[in-house]
Amino acid sequence: MTPSIYLDHAATTPLQPAVFEAMLPYLNGHFGNPSSIHAYGRAARKALNDARDLIANELGCQPGQLVFTSGGTESDNLALFGVSNAYGKDKKHLITTQVEHHAVLNACRRLEELGYEVTYLPVDGSGVVSLTELEAAVRPETFLISVMYGNNEVGTIQPISEIGRFARKQGILFHVDAVQALGSEEIDLSDLPVDLMTFSAHKINGPKGVGALYVSPHVRLSPVLFGGNQERKRRAGTENVAGIVGFSKAVQFAKENLSEKRQQMERLRQRFLLTLQSCLNPESGFIVNGNSDRRLPHILNVSFPGTDTETLLMNFDLEGIAASSGSACTSGSFELSHVLEAMNLSPEIAHSAVRFSFGWGNTEEEIHRAAEIAATIVNRLRK
């Protein structure tokens, strides 16, 4: 059964029709390999170059500073392993946070197995990292700081500009996972003090299987895949031309509609919360997790004390509501979210948390209906 109300846009988003139309020619007639020198290859190369130029222009960087990858996970891994391989002979320490996506956390754990030292910074109860603790964690051998822009589970936005300015003063490279922020936050790489930034197409109504890593020109980056000379010898493998064309169209759509989307997501969020307030028993109610001031507008993490996440999600699904417990990369396990655990939430709050994430296609009417259904289920389970 296809869920009738999709509230899991932080996991993936539906393909925007204009993106699909832009991709079609490169899935059929223009099928050439962009590394080939004949007419078929040149047509593919032109599409690739045009897409790169468009994305670079929208993000405020130079085309040559973008490395296309298979998605956010590969981009995170390329950033961490590529920089570690380039700088790790003399320096062996990097800093991250306890609430990063597993694409960063598990890469860091692998680096520890290879002899690197990693500091995993704690966060406060709203999921924000302390600048003071970050500064105190720096050592002479620190070569990289990796902190996500906006959290994929609770939506909390980190002080990226402040961290970046500090890192530059210390001569430390700064990587930012901006997978959830792209399309929700204004990103201008000509202004942000970051050295590497990760993006993914399928979070912004683009295709799955394509992403990008921004690499500042002064950064040395060793490849982690070996083969051809694609992507200026930084990422071997035939480029996903159709996916990259779709990615560029999705970035263009996201940037052109950024203000409208932010306003719409805030309206949907407020409608959902107000409906919950009116339908839930006031003595038990619900708790919103994350930072109330600095947050991504499309992510809403709510705990319903007196219930449990697994039972809630199964009941929601039976009633046609698609939500999640957090990162789609760890779904199915129903283990306690590492993000909520790092925020030191009580077991009752952490074990009853559900992430609702909104996106294009959601209407205020269906959000109201979804919240009513959710409240009915919560009230029933509490009885």
Three-state secondary-structure class, residue 135: helix
- For residue 45, the Cα-to-chain-centroid distance in whole angstroms is 28
pLDDT per residue, tens digit, the chain (383 aa), is 555 999 999 999 999 999 999 999 999 989 999 999 999 999 999 999 999 999 999 999 999 999 999 999 999 999 999 999 999 888 999 999 999 999 999 999 999 999 999 999 999 999 999 999 999 999 999 999 999 999 999 999 999 999 999 999 999 999 999 999 999 999 999 999 999 999 999 999 999 999 999 999 999 999 999 999 999 999 999 999 999 999 999 999 999 999 999 999 999 999 999 999 999 976 778 999 999 899 999 999 999 999 999 999 999 999 999 999 875 555 555 678 999 999 999 999 999 999 999 999 999 999 999 999 999 999 999 98
Per-residue tokens: 54? 């468009």
Q: Using the 8-state DSSP alphabet, how is residue 129 labeled?
A: B
- Please confirm, yes or no, whether 329 is among the known catalytic residues: yes
Fold of 17-256: Aspartate Aminotransferase; domain 2 (3.40.640)
CB 122 within 8 A of CB 342: yes
Spans of all domains in the chain = 5-13+258-382, 17-256
Q: Using the 8-state DSSP alphabet, how is residue 4 labeled?
A: S
Superfamily of structural domain 5-13+258-382: Aspartate Aminotransferase, domain 1 (3.90.1150.10)
